A and B are shown apart, each in its own frame.
Chain A
Amino acid sequence: MANHLVENYSIDKFYANVIRHEFSRQHQWRITNIRTGNDGLNGFIRSENPETHLLVESASIPARSINNVPVNFHGIDFNLPGNAKYTGSDSWQTTWRVDQKLNLRRVMEEWQTFVFNDRISGGSITRANDASLTMTLFDQFGMSHSTYTLYGIYPTEVGALDYNVGTDGDIVTMNVTFAYHYWDRGGVTAATMNEPINGPEVGGPSTSQTQQLGDGL
């Protein structure tokens, strides 16, 4: 059957699809849970710096890739899938707004020092399911629909803070680079992906699929 441009890809269909599924917006995202690992560090972030989830500025949902394996025949590359890699798992970048007394900076420094303390050769064994970071994505009604959890996370680099008396009161931000083993996704599944976006006032998502902002932090 012929595939007709106007019948199948018209502006009306595009508009209807946007209304039904909306677009993901860059601000509809937060880091909602950080578990710093074992050795009594669980809850460390929560107890030491309760505003962490409000200070994060940017990060990314990390990538996953499959190594391509070319097999040649008469010079043609037949591209076969190889092993999976969690691309960038050794250097996941985040940016944070730093509070005036540098509590966030202190927490990240101490977390990193707990991981390996060069002065005493002490350290923490980073465990996959004990050290994790969860990002939650929200719809325009503030309801969460998906989570991404990075397992085995620890800060590899707590970035420098730049100060300059010649600026116009710009806030100080800090880059923190993390490493993790792998990630997984929660929330939306194949069974629920086609459910339309509805606000609470028109029925709203079921409670099993949603959680409130900040839950678990």
Chain B
Amino acid sequence: MPHAVFPNSFNAGVSQAEQRFKEFERILLYNWSTYLANPSMWFVVIDKIPNALINMNNDNTLNKEGPNKYTQFTMNQQNLFNVIENGVGCMIIHGVVLPTIEASGGRESPAMGGYYGGVVMDSINEQAQLTLQFRETHSSALDFIFRPWVELSAKNGAIARPPGDPRFIKCNITVMQTGIVGGASDPIIRKAWRFNNCQPTSVANTSLAHDGTWGAADMYVNTEWVYSDYDLHDVEMDNMSALYDQHDKSGQGVEAMRQGHFTRGPMNVQL
């Protein structure tokens, strides 16, 4: 855009640079929707462990087929099931790697006497893989739940089956990302990924050693999952920035915190 007058803000009384500065401040500090998200505010919900994994004893079909064999006491297994299927979140998950998405594109080979070729797009290339990092725990979900589950993935494949089918081994995994909404309020779910028809494909190896010290990171193990598709949900409150502004200015949150109370967040995403 051509400039009719070289810098003219003195005469006009308006500085475009200052407007940009103020706009940056507004979106960073005064607008809930564009506030910097906190990367550690998230949790994962796994809705269902396959029935084929229940009662991991000699009568289990997986054990009968072999060659590997898993033996787990019922109550220990139930304890792990409760932890993994807990509706408030599976708290033995330490980390999540969300999938990338890309569509490759570029120019065709130069043609027509040295002119650039046109830009063309290839089909979408989505990484249909979700990584969940679990903590190895005394009673091992990694080796008594997810390891045999990977075997089920290999034996039963990825064929769509109804939930009642004993070979139904898929689950839905929801990754909730939350955002702060006040000093004394529960965070709200600002974004939710629901990965549909998930099944694990690998449990990473672990190394054991007699080193003198160890850190928790030594007990973090990656599992890889495939899924058919995902649904992405925005925060389920329209005009969230205005709502937050109203809540913030009311002073209720701060007053509640001063009195030692915490308010419940206004809503949760219903998937």
Q: Contact flags (1/0) for A70-94 with B, using CB distance below 8 Å?
A: 0101100010101100000000000
List of B residues within 8 angstroms of A191 by Cβ: 259
Q: Contact flags (1/0) for B8-37 with A, using CB distance below 8 Å?
A: 000000000000010011001100000010
CB < 8 Å neighbour of A69 from B21, B29, B36, B260: B36
List of A residues within 8 angstroms of B40 by Cβ: 83
Q: Is the CB of B21 within 8 A of A190?
A: no
User: Which A residues between 42 and 87 are near B, CB-CB below 8 angstroms?
Assistant: 69, 71, 73-74, 78, 80, 82-83
Q: Is the CB of A73 within 8 A of B24?
A: yes
Q: Work out how many contacts link A and B, with CB atoms closer than 8 A.
A: 21
Interface: B38 (CB within 8 A): yes
Q: Is the CB of A190 within 8 A of B258?
A: yes
Interface: A28 (CB within 8 A): no
Q: Is the CB of B29 within 8 A of A189?
A: no
Q: Which residues of B contact A (CB under 8 A)?
A: 21, 24-25, 28-29, 36, 38, 40, 258-260
Q: Is the CB of A189 within 8 A of B260?
A: yes
With contact pairs A189-B259, A191-B259 given, residues A71 and B38 touching in the complex (Cβ less than 8 Å) = no
A74→B18 CA distance, assembly (Å):
12
Q: Contact flags (1/0) for A140-161 with B, using CB distance below 8 Å?
A: 0000000000000000000000
Q: Is the CB of A73 within 8 A of B259?
A: no
Q: Is the CB of B29 within 8 A of A78?
A: yes
Which of chain A's residues has its CB closest to B29's CB?
A78
Q: Is the CB of A82 within 8 A of B28?
A: no
List of B residues within 8 angstroms of A73 by Cβ: 21, 24, 28
With contact pairs A73-B24, A74-B21 given, residues A190 and B259 touching in the complex (Cβ less than 8 Å) = yes
Q: Identify 4 new A-B residue pairs, CB closer than 8 A, beyond the known A71-B28, A82-B38.
A: A71-B36, A80-B28, A190-B258, A191-B259
A190→B260 CA distance, assembly (Å):
9
List of A residues within 8 angstroms of B25 by Cβ: 78
Distance (Å) between the CB of A38 and the closest chain B CB? 15
Which of chain A's residues has its CB closest to B260's CB?
A189
A161→B36 CA distance, assembly (Å):
50
Distance (Å) between the CB of A10 and the closest chain B CB? 29
List of B residues within 8 angstroms of A71 by Cβ: 28, 36
Distance (Å) between the CB of A76 and the closest chain B CB? 9
Distance (Å) between the CB of A83 and the closest chain B CB? 6
Task: Offer 21 A-B interface pairs, CB within 8 angstroms, sorted by A.
Answer: A69-B36, A71-B28, A71-B36, A73-B21, A73-B24, A73-B28, A74-B21, A78-B25, A78-B28, A78-B29, A80-B28, A80-B36, A82-B38, A83-B38, A83-B40, A189-B258, A189-B259, A189-B260, A190-B258, A190-B259, A191-B259
List of A residues within 8 angstroms of B38 by Cβ: 82-83
List of B residues within 8 angstroms of A69 by Cβ: 36
* Closest 9 A/B residue pairs (Cβ): A190-B258, A73-B24, A80-B36, A78-B28, A83-B40, A71-B36, A71-B28, A189-B260, A190-B259
Distance (Å) between the CB of B53 and the closest chain A CB? 27
A190→B29 CA distance, assembly (Å):
27
A74→B258 CA distance, assembly (Å):
37
List of A residues within 8 angstroms of B24 by Cβ: 73
Which of chain B's residues has its CB closest to A78's CB?
B28
Distance (Å) between the CB of B184 and the closest chain A CB? 12
List of A residues within 8 angstroms of B28 by Cβ: 71, 73, 78, 80
A62→B258 CA distance, assembly (Å):
20
A73→B29 CA distance, assembly (Å):
13
A5→B36 CA distance, assembly (Å):
41
